[in-house]
Amino acid sequence: MNFQVINDSMSIPKDLMKILACPKCKGDVEEKGMFILCEKCKLAYPVLDGDVPDMLIDDAWKMNKTQKAKFKHKLKL
């Protein structure tokens, strides 16, 4: 995986956010910074290149790691 600093503003289309669910618990998710968050599972799924959600459980960050990173990352597709 390549690493590069990218713009920390993401724009997931509202229609997509309506149908996205946490792949672990199937619960609701919300956007924050460069992540899609599941409060129930305390997992944060990174959004790559500003608009590509990585919803793989193995790629999710724990919420405390995400908070320490101030909801930003350097991941890129």
Over residues 24-72, the pLDDT tens digits come to 999 999 999 999 999 999 999 999 998 899 999 999 999 999 999 999 9
Q: Residue 22: which pLDDT band, with cuts at 50, 70 and 90?
A: very high
Q: Compute the radius of gyration of the chain from its Cα atoms.
A: 11
pTM of the model: 0.85
The CATH label, of 2.60.40.1930, 3.40.309.10, 2.20.25.10, 2.60.260.20, for the domain at 14-68 is 2.20.25.10
Q: Are 25 and 60 in contact (CB under 8 A)?
A: no
Measured from the Cβ of residue 70, the count of other Cβ atoms closer than 10 Å reads 10
